[in-house]
Structure formats: C-alpha cells, structure tokens
C-alpha cells in the first residue's frame, strides 16, 4: 500500500489520573482509563482497582494502582498489541511512580507481547528471585523491580526476543538506581526501529542494548504492579505516557 501521510504522524497516549476511576469496590474483569485498558489477575475482586488521589502531596493527578490480596495477582494499565518498532519507532514508554514501602511486590513498566485481561507479571511476563530473572514472555523490554531479588531496591533493565540474548542474571542488568519509599522515580524506555533499546532513570541514560527486541514484533505498553504475598499492594503513578509514530504503510 502506498504511504500517504498527514500532520497526524506522532501519537501520544497519556494517563494523568484526573478523570474516571476504576473503583476498588468494583468487580469488572477489565476496564478502561482514557487511552488505556485496565487489566490484571484479581481486578475482578472488590479490593482491587485504580483510584485518583486528591490530597497533598498529590495535587496534579496521581492514580493509585491497588492489587487484590492474593499472591501473583496484579493490576495494570496496558495498550492493545499495536506497537511495532520497525514501522513506528522511536517508541517511548515513560512513567513517574512511587511506593509507600518496598516490600512484597513486583513492578514491570515497558513493552510486552502479553496484555491479557487476567495478566500476571510473574506468570505471564517476567519474574525476579535472588539473582535469577525468569523471562516468561517471548518478547519484552522494560524496567523490572522486584522485592524477591537480592538487590531488592534496584531497578533492572530487562529484555527478551531480540538478536541479543535476554539476560537471566540480575547482576548484569541492575541499573544502580535504587527506589526509595515515598519518593517518585521517573523511568523512560526508548526503542528504535532496529531493536536498540535505551533505559533512562530521572532523565539520565543508564543502559543501551543493541538488538534488545525483534523490530517486527508487535508489543503492548504495560505499567503493572503485583503482590508477591496474600496481601494488598499499591503503586502511586503520577503519569503513564506512550509515544510512537503512526504506521503509514497500512
């Protein structure tokens, strides 16, 4: 098909948590906020959802992602499977987030070829334990933080499916960027049309990997938190942003 273009080539999806909520008291198996779907294994339970925070210090729109009280159950913002680096790069996934504590939870922010309604980070995408990273999804790229890792406060740059083999030892992909409880952190992933990926934390480039992903793989953007025990866990997200180019070839 011939390429016909207009001025609408750059697409930006952003949730700033100033509008509708997914009530914790709700029991929908999937929902939506602005441009994103809300999914997760356990979302249908009445103790899981996404609510806007309205008191200091959260005055510019902050969403609280709340899991149900079961292990390996998560709540996530996701896009459809629609992001193809070879024709839509650079693809950018960015979030600003914090936790009230750094215990018994796992976070993945980035790209994955899995975005199911009953999404579980550990069962479907990735998991960390001691110094081992299990790459469950065949194709993924992003930030992992997991309290089960030995380096349990550090962000890790994870990837799988490209020409560079995904690392499964956490010490090779830790970014030396520790989270701090009740302190916002900004993470940004950039993926080029050739599959090269870059990881930024608070504006600083921390890692670059050539061939981190297969350029023709179609991804979903994911921002997810999961409980590792039978307890409710939360993640406060200031914003979640996805930026990419329109595919004019279709």
- For residue 39, give the 3-state DSSP assignment: strand
CATH architecture for residues 13-245: Sandwich (2.60)
- What are 132-169's pLDDT values in tens digits? 999 999 999 999 999 999 999 999 999 999 999 999 99
Residue range 107-116, pLDDT digits in tens: 999 999 999 9
The average confidence (pLDDT) of the chain is 95
Cβ within 8 Å of residue 44, ≥6 positions away: 27, 28, 29
Q: Which residues of 149-177 are buried (b: 16+ CB within 10 A; e: fewer)?
A: bebeebbbbbbbbbebebbeebeebbbeb
Question: Taking the mean position of all CA atoms in its chain, how far away is CA 215?
Answer: 19
Which pLDDT score is estimated for 55?
77
End-to-end CA distance of the chain, in Å?
Answer: 7
pLDDT in tens, 196-246: 999 999 999 999 999 999 999 999 999 999 999 999 999 999 999 999 999
Higher pLDDT, 134 or 6: 134
Domain spans in the chain, listed from the N-terminal domain onward: 13-245
pTM of this prediction? 0.96
User: Cα 66 to chain center, whole Å?
Assistant: 15
């Amino acid at each position: 098909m011939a390429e016909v273009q207009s001025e609408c080539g750059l697409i930006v999806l952003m949730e700033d948590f100033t509008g509708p909520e997914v009530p914790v008291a709700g029991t929908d198996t999937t929902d939506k906020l602005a441009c994103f779907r809300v999914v997760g294994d356990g979302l249908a339970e009445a103790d899981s959802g996404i609510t806007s925070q309205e008191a200091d210090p959260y005055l510019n729109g902050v969403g609280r992602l709340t899991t149900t009280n079961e292990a390996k159950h998560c709540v996530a913002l996701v896009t459809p499977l629609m992001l193809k680096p070879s024709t839509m790069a650079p693809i950018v996934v960015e979030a600003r987030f914090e936790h009230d504590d750094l215990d018994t939870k796992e976070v993945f922010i980035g790209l994955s070829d899995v975005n199911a309604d009953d999404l579980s980070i550990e069962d479907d995408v990735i998991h960390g334990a001691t110094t081992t990273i299990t790459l469950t999804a065949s194709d993924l790229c992003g930030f992992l933080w997991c309290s089960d890792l030995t380096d349990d406060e550090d962000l890790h740059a994870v990837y799988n499916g490209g020409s560079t083999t995904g690392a499964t030892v956490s010490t090779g992909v830790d970014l030396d960027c520790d989270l701090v409880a009740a302190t916002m952190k900004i993470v940004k992933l950039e993926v080029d049309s050739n599959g090269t990926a870059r990881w930024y934390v608070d504006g600083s480039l921390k890692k670059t990997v050539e061939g981190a992903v297969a350029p023709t793989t179609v991804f979903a953007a994911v921002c997810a938190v999961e409980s590792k025990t039978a307890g409710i866990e939360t993640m406060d997200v200031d914003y979640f942003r996805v930026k990419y180019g329109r595919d004019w070839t279709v």
